[in-house]
Amino acid sequence: MSNGAKIAIGGVVAAAILWPLIGFWWTLLVLIGVPAVGYLMLDPSQRRRLRRVGRKEIGR
């Protein structure tokens, strides 16, 4: 199983657990906000490296 598939399954499981507990909009905010904040916390050099690796994976 690819890493992307594992992440997608983890997101679905997290949404299924959080939805009944905190509601749809808060769940959506958590599932989108946490990765976005994590990305913004990276140094500029780390962001460049992450984008470069992502493009290499797409070009496979």
> On the CB side of 50, how many CA atoms lie within 13 Å of its CA?
10
The pLDDT confidence band at residue 43, using thresholds 50, 70 and 90, is: very high
pLDDT score at 4? 77
Q: Please say whether the beta carbons of 47 and 55 come within 8 A.
A: no
Instruction: Check residue 57 and give its pLDDT.
Output: 63
In terms of DSSP H, where are the helices of the chain?
3-22, 24-40, 44-58
* Chain segment 4-17, per-residue pLDDT in tens: 788 888 888 988 99
The pTM assigned to this predicted structure is 0.64
